[in-house]
Chains A and B, each alone.
Chain A
Amino acid sequence: MSTAPSLAGKRPSTLRGASLPKWAPWAIGAASIALGFGISTAAGLASDIQWALIAALLYVIGTYVISAWIENRRQAKDRVVTSMVWVAFLLAVVPLASLVWSTVQRGIKVLDGYFLTHSMGVVADSEPGGGIYHAILGTLEQVGLATLIAAPIGVLTAIYLVEYGRGSLARAVTFFVDVMTGIPSIVAGLFILSIMLMFEMEPFGFAGSLALAILMMPVVVRSTEEMLKLVPNELREASLALGVPKWRTIMKVVLPTSLGGIITGIMLSIARIAGETAPVLLLVFGSKFINSNPFDGAQASLPLYIYQQYGSGEAPAYDRAWAASLTLIAFVMILNMVARGIARWKAPKTGR
């Protein structure tokens, strides 16, 4: 027994292999960026994207070779997959970050209280000043009305599909929801436009809401359906076994359990339609003046305002377009944050 430690000391451990130091991934990353930069400079490649892609490729290959050489094959594969995940992460985040950065940088210039509370009423596109109050108002009204139409219909459709739907009707509904998901926004706009032309109507805000509702509905149906499917059947059975009717079971047990997810889905679909330009261009037309009545006369909306300001080609209009973009991004981001907050607040509690 007394010789055991010395024996163990002589034998190489089978449990401990050579491993790269903690700083190795960073070093490989730095080296591949330097190398990528060097190669593209030597080859006279002008674009930033080219050296970045070369560096990313070098990083993945370098990680594998070095790790396979010093460690072993399994570790090398592990490191390669990890490094590919990092590369993919950067590929996704860099454009997003640069988009947010340039929007903030250019949009902040004219974004102030005045800009948010005034319209373009007496301001020509070539003059500075003016604001987006009329566009914010239009977007809120059009999106709000679209949500009032699409959210109840979508949620009820999903309840039908999950709780009641059997047989051919349910299959048909599912099929048409799938088809609706694929409708391009311009086609939804043209559909409403054709009806408007039949009745010889002028553009007005609610027509845009109808087109946006068409776009929003399938998204609400799909997300709500998934949320309802997540509710365990045991809960429905527990409620039914207490002698609770099916509709009350749905209202009091199924919906509260999935409410957080359903609201998140609705918020995300609002975020999706808030940026739609095409149907609004066709149906609401756009206006420089404040029009708070969505049922009469042309209205403005944020995406349409951005499109029209940028299209005018004047320097002050560019600034206004960027500021309006920043406002739209902030609007969508606030919606998402509210959705997360509600989801967390309404989520089934597990605390003791």
Chain B
Amino acid sequence: MAKRIDVSGLNAYYGSFLAIEDISMTVEPRSVTAFIGPSGCGKSTFLRTLNRMHEVTPGGRVEGKVMLDDENLYGAGIDPVAVRREVGMVFQRPNPFPTMSVYDNVAAGLKLNGSYKKSQLDDIVEKSLKGANLWNEVKDRLNKPGSGLSGGQQQRLCIARAIAVEPKVLLMDEPCSALDPISTLAIEDLIGELKERFTIVIVTHNMQQAARVSDRTAFFNLAAVGQPGKLIEIDDTERIFSNPSVQATEDYISGRFG
């Protein structure tokens, strides 16, 4: 079910500005890959190229290849809407739909994409909420607005919403940066469980978090402000944090930079 991502020679632009340059990497299925690096180095931009969300930004443009198993996401005739059903995304700030109840938020991806029987939806909603470790907290208030939950609950609601459509890959853009340590722990535990079923890519500023949750870590950096971001190296997380092959990685991880 989970799929491998193979990126080669990828450039992403905002208008004429080259934001990330010549990125090639492989993301293994059923594993967690973490992206670390300083702000503005293009981690999030790269993440958004993996489900064609980059082009939603005005002026966003991508060159290169992103292979999902054996299909190029940027090939001719590929429907970006279909890509996004295969590659789900969780955002930095929890963003449940304010007009919808908890139930409708989880069912949103299914309801908006086709018709399902009520009993079928009930099952998927329960399964997704259990998958996001939120079921016990919200099962009595499924019809209350989703925006009434706490921040950590909202973020898990967003994860439930993303996994309800059964994607192959789950992208997470700093999913814990707006949350307290307890909610963060809940989501990190959840990531550990979800990697049995999905390929997970997570952007994080928290290096302990990368070390805790990921199997492989990619370090991004940029030469200077206004220069494009580049992939410095990608390796097993243990190796990146103990014995990276590039000096810049070690400097960043140990806090020696600038």
Q: Residues of A with Cβ closer than 8 Å to B?
A: 166, 232, 234-245, 248-249, 252-253, 256-257, 348-352
Contact = CB atoms under 8 A, between A and B. Distances in A.
B15 interface: no
B148 A352 contact: yes
A314 to B, nearest CB: 55
Interface in B41-63: 51, 53, 56, 58
A253 B97 contact: yes
Interface residues of B, number: 32
Given A235-B98, A237-B53, A243 B144 contact: no
B56 to A, nearest CB: 6
A93 B98 CA distance: 37
A150 B144 CA distance: 36
B145 A351 contact: yes
B51 to A, nearest CB: 7
A79 B58 CA distance: 48
A239 B93 CA distance: 14
A349 B148 contact: yes
Given A244-B112, A350-B145, A352-B144, A235 B85 contact: no
B161 interface: yes
B89 interface: yes
B112 A248 contact: yes
Contact of A349 (B53, B89, B95, B145): B145
B109 A256 contact: no
Contacts of A257: 97-99
Contact of A241 (B84, B93, B141, B148): B84
Contacts of A243: 81-86, 88, 109, 113, 165
B81 A241 contact: no
The 4 A-B pairs at the shortest CB distance, nearest first, are namely A243-B85, A348-B98, A242-B109, A241-B89
Interface of B: 51, 53, 56, 58, 81-86, 88-89, 91, 93, 95, 97-99, 108-109, 112-113, 141, 144-145, 147-149, 158, 161-162, 165
Nearest to B80: A240
Contacts of A242: 84-85, 88, 108-109, 112-113, 161-162, 165
A239 B147 CA distance: 16
Interface centre among A235, A241, A242, A351, by most chain B C-beta atoms within 10 angstroms, is A241
B95 to A, nearest CB: 4
13 contacts: A235-B97, A238-B91, A238-B97, A239-B108, A240-B84, A241-B88, A241-B89, A241-B91, A242-B84, A242-B85, A242-B109, A243-B109, A245-B81
Given A241-B53, A242-B84, A350-B145, A235 B113 contact: no
B99 A348 contact: yes
A350 B56 CA distance: 28
A23 B253 CA distance: 65
Contacts of B162: 241-242
A232 B91 CA distance: 13
A248 B161 CA distance: 17
A212 B58 CA distance: 36
A57 to B, nearest CB: 48
Contacts of B89: 237, 241
A7 to B, nearest CB: 45
A348 B145 contact: yes
A252 B98 contact: no
Given A240-B56, A242-B112, A252-B112, 18 more contacts: A234-B93, A235-B97, A238-B95, A239-B108, A242-B84, A242-B85, A242-B165, A243-B81, A248-B112, A248-B113, A253-B99, A257-B97, A257-B99, A348-B145, A348-B147, A349-B99, A350-B145, A351-B148
